[in-house]
Structures are given as C-alpha cells and as structure tokens.
Amino acid sequence: MSSSGHDPKLTPHVALLPSAGMGHLTPFLRLAALLTANDVRVTFITPHPTVSLSESQSLTHLFSSFPQITRKQLRLLPFDDLSANSEDPFYYHFEVIRRSSHLLSPLLTSLSPPLSALVTDMSLASTVIPITDALKLPNYIFFTSSAKMLTLYLSFHVMVPNEMKDFVEISGLEPIPRSWIPPPLLQDTDNLLKMLFHRKWQENDRIKWNSVHAVGPLPPFNLEKSRPLAWLDDQPAQSVLYVSFGSRTAISRDQIRELGDGLVRSSKSFLWVVKDKKVDKDDSSELIDLIGHDLMERIIERGFLVKNWLNQEEVLRHPAVAGFLTHCGWNSITEALWHGVPMLLWPQHGDQKINADLVERIGVGMWAKSWGWGGEAMVVKGEEIAEKVGEMMGNGILRLRAAEVRNDARMAVREGGSSYKRLANLIESWKGLV
Ligand code: UDP
Ligand code: UDP
C-alpha cells in the first residue's frame, strides 16, 4: 500500500488509545497490526491495570508479536468511591480512565517523533477530544460498532427519552423500536453509561464530526497459534454449533441449564463457552456445579464445554463449524461474517439488538425476538431454544448468503477494494502531517 518504504521522514506516527474490555481492545489490536503492516509507526497506550485477564494476556501477545510497536502505560488512579455502586466493572473502568485523563496530555507530548494523529476509542471521545484540541493533535474516534449505531448515537442526546413513543425516529434511519435502545440510556436515573455515552457527547455538541472513514472489517490476525481444539478436528465438516456470549456477559444459572437442555434437544453437536461471571478473574465456579450432573451426562454425548477463554477466531474458521449462537457483540458478528458462519441471534445488552437487526436484514442470521434481552426476568425454555437451533442450522439460504457476505468482506480489504483504498487514503493524509 505504501510507496514510501521505510523513509522515516514519510513515516507517520500514530498513537492508539483503547478502552476497557475485549470488545473494545480487540479492534485496536487489529488496527495496530494493520497499520504496522502498512509502515505506520504505532504507539499503543494501555490504560493500566486492565479489568480482565484476557485483556492483559492479549496485550502481552501484541507486544511480543510486534516488537516495533511502542508500549506506553497510562497508569490509572484508584477511585474506590465509585466501584461500590457501579453496576458494571467495564463501564466503571471507562469512568476511571476518564478521571485519569489529565495524565494523557504529558504522555502524548513526550512521544518522539511527534505524533501525526491519535486514534481514540469511542467511549473516551468526549474526554479526550478537549485534550487533543488543546494540543492541536488530530484525533480520530474509532467507533467499534456499526454505522447505524453511530447514527443513533449522534442523534440520541437531542431526544428526550420520556417523549419517545414506541419507535425512535432519526432522520436517515427507519424508525427504531424503543425496546432496541440500550436500556441504561432510557433510565430516568443517572448511570455510568448515560454519563459517558449520552450526556458527555451532548456537552461536546459543538464538536464537528468531519468525516467517516469506513475501513472495516478489520481482518483478524493471529497473535499466536493457540492449542487447536482437538474435539473440533474430530467433528464432520459443517456439523457443529458454536455457542458463546462474548467476553463479558454472564448468564444466569437457570438460563444456563435451559440452554444446555435446548442444545441437547436440538440433536446438533455443539461447542459451548459457559460463562456465569462478567469478569474472567471472578469466574472460579466449576462447570459441573453450573450445569449439574444429570444435564452434564446428556451433554457429554454431543457437546464440548469450555469454561476458559478460547480463540474464537480459530473456532469460527474451523470447517466443522456450521452456525453460531451469539450475543451479537459487534466483534463476534464481524468475525462470523468474515468467516461466512450463519448466526442465531440472541442480543443480551447494549447495542446488540441494533446489531441483531442488521444481521437479520442482510440475511445471515435469525433473531428470536420474543427472547428479549438476556437477564430479563424471563428464562427462555430449552424446547424453544432447540427449535430455533434446528431451524437456523437447517437453513441453506442463510448459509449461501453467509458465503456471499464472506466474499464481499474479503473483496473490501483486498488490494484495490473499498476499505483498502480508504485506509490507504487515511495513511496518505497522515503523511501530509508528518
Ligand atoms: N472472544 C474470544 N474468546 C472468548 C470470548 C470472546 O476470542 O472466549 C473474543 C471474540 O472473538 C471477540 C471479542 O472477544 O473478538 C468479544 O467482543 P464482542 O464485541 O463480540 O463482545 P463483548 O465481549 O464485547 O460483549
Ligand atoms: N453504546 C452506545 N452507543 C453505541 C455503542 C455503544 O450507547 O453506539 C453503549 C451500549 O449501551 C453498550 C456500551 O455503550 O452497552 C458499550 O458498547 P459495546 O456494547 O460495544 O461494548 P461492550 O459491551 O463490548 O463493552
């Protein structure tokens, strides 16, 4: 992509500032790898400590795989007063980073050679924009969700939630059912998410949003070859359902058991990542206690359960995998699209209903809307889960469409493709700033 080779005068220097949680870190890891491959000098700023073990492990892998990337730590100040009443350790961490942001300016100005630009996670936008404005440093907000979510986001703060009818109307979008909006944003009372995502953007209303550079999907890269899942290798091609709710969604014990029952009843083989705590460090319960002996005996015949982190990339690309029961995290969705895997969509929180709708519209997934948000009072019954799993896994049209979308995604990032060109233009524009 670059014609400049390694001429240091023409090498832009870009710093990346991710936020908390694997869903926010993963796209930054991919961006760091992609920019490095395109002769951009990258400094990766890591808010420290991280919330989860998987974040610190991924960072270690990044820096050992790419020794040319410079690591800078943003040492976070402790704010115990907040943690007591915070409903979510990851949102709490967004706030801790925000409160430590005065440490950022000296860090940015100390970097050498001087920066061409900073790329900031969306959750830190309102905090970091005034800092980079003062430094006259171009700041690109990396939005780690869909364009539709970005549109909703940019318009949401001008609406008064109480005035909302059953549908939210935003120009340029079809009316969005109120029930799809991230629930904390609709609450009357204050919460961390509202403060960070809603009011703070409102305060920064004067900020101009210049242009959007659609460079995704960011191709996955393998930090290291993880231990191959021998069980998957033993399964016939296109036979296995992969079940995971991402890195930070806990499922209630009752729902875990109904889900297990449903998977067994579906008569499909399945690989299931079982998680009952939001943060991996807190997750010490034994599988057998979560699942129970009776169900475990039924599961063993067809299913393989995992309690720890596995490399989802490797699973989705495996020829045995035919479908994905997903919580609709944006990374999980883009990874499934990248690998052409049809989805059964079960959004749990946040932007995930908006994501589910997009996948259903492009014809690569089925969404059982009556299941609602995860964690709602209702527990979805095993019979119903089995029925939907069967429907999705047996749907040849979904599979064909998934293969087409996979192809489109790869064309976009291939030399000459739309995302390839946009990234090349972006890097060229940074060179003008060197
Ligand atoms: N992931 C993984 N192994 C796991 C759980 C998650 O590799 O056991 C990865 C997954 O591939 C994705 C990210 O972690 O890249 C999760 O991001 P996503 O946006 O899907 O959901 P979140 O975890 O933020 O809810
Ligand atoms: N969010 C939002 N607007 C967006 C994207 C996200 O209000 O455009 C909120 C949403 O409620 C979500 C939270 O920010 O729960 C974090 O986003 P995301 O779900 O991508 O993060 P994760 O759950 O992966 O940490």
CA distances from 269 to 37, 245, 273, 311 (A): 38, 18, 14, 19
Least confident span in 64-78, 122-136, 190-204 = 190-204
222 pLDDT band, cuts 50/70/90, is low
Pocket around ligand 2 at a 6 A CB cut-off:
21, 23-24, 90, 144-145, 149, 153, 182, 185, 193, 197, 329-330, 349-351
Tell whether the model's pLDDT for residue 224 goes beyond 80: no
Residue 280 annotated among the catalytic residues of the structure: no
Read off the pLDDT of residues 260-288 as tens digits, 9 standing for 90 and up: 999 999 999 999 999 988 988 888 889 99
Which of 145, 150, 156 for a ligand 2 pocket mutation test, highest count of atoms within 8 Å of Cβ? 145
Tell whether the model's pLDDT for residue 419 goes beyond 90: yes
Given this model, what pLDDT does residue 10 score?
83
Given this model, what pLDDT does residue 433 score?
62
At residue 161, the 3 state secondary structure works out as helix
Half-sphere exposure of 91 (CA within 13 A, CB side): 16
- Where are any strands of DSSP class E within 60-194? 70-75, 117-121, 139-142, 167-168, 176-177
Q: Which residue has the higher pLDDT, 65 or 1?
A: 65
Residue 190 annotated among the catalytic residues of the structure: no
Looking at the chain, the whole-number percentage of residues with pLDDT higher than 70 is 88
Buried b (16+ CB within 10 A) or exposed e, 121-140: bbbbbbbbbebbeebebbbb
Residue owning the nearest CA to atom 10 of ligand 2: 350
Residue owning the nearest CA to atom 24 of ligand 2: 23
Looking at the chain, the whole-number percentage of residues with pLDDT higher than 90 is 66
How high is the mean pLDDT of the chain?
89
* Residue tagged active-site, from 88, 121, 261, 276: 121
Given this model, what pLDDT does residue 206 score?
47
- Asked if 385 and 266 touch (Cβ cutoff 8 Å), the reply is yes
- Asked if 14 and 116 touch (Cβ cutoff 8 Å), the reply is yes
Task: Give the position of tokens 């930090």.
Answer: 223
Least confident span in 113-122, 210-219, 418-427 = 210-219
Buried b (16+ CB within 10 A) or exposed e, 236-246: eeebbbbbbbb
Tell whether the model's pLDDT for residue 53 goes beyond 90: yes
Torsion of CA 276, 251, 348, 121, to 10 degrees: 0
Average pLDDT of the segment spanning 225-234: 76
Given this model, what pLDDT does residue 9 score?
67
- Distance from residue 193's CA to the centre of ligand 2 (Å): 8
Q: Which residue has the higher pLDDT, 9 or 227?
A: 9
Residue owning the nearest CA to atom 18 of ligand 1: 329
Tell whether the model's pLDDT for residue 142 goes beyond 70: yes
Given this model, what pLDDT does residue 172 score?
83
Tell whether the model's pLDDT for residue 295 goes beyond 90: yes
- Where are any strands of DSSP class E within 167-263? 167-168, 176-177, 240-244
Least confident span in 20-24, 85-89, 252-256 = 85-89
Which ligand 1 atom is nearest residue 24's CA? 24
Which ligand is located closest to the Cα atom of residue 201? 2
Read off the pLDDT of residues 54-64 as tens digits, 9 standing for 90 and up: 999 999 999 99
196 pLDDT band, cuts 50/70/90, is low
- Asked if 405 and 337 touch (Cβ cutoff 8 Å), the reply is yes
Q: Which residue has the higher pLDDT, 98 or 347?
A: 347
Average pLDDT of the segment spanning 363-371: 97
Average pLDDT of the segment spanning 90-105: 89
First-to-final CA distance of the chain = 18
4 pLDDT band, cuts 50/70/90, is very low
177 pLDDT band, cuts 50/70/90, is very high
Which ligand is located closest to the Cα atom of residue 195? 2
Tell whether the model's pLDDT for residue 313 goes beyond 70: yes
- Asked if 272 and 307 touch (Cβ cutoff 8 Å), the reply is no
Given this model, what pLDDT does residue 3 score?
47
Given this model, what pLDDT does residue 202 score?
56
Average pLDDT of the segment spanning 80-98: 75
> The pTM is what?
0.90
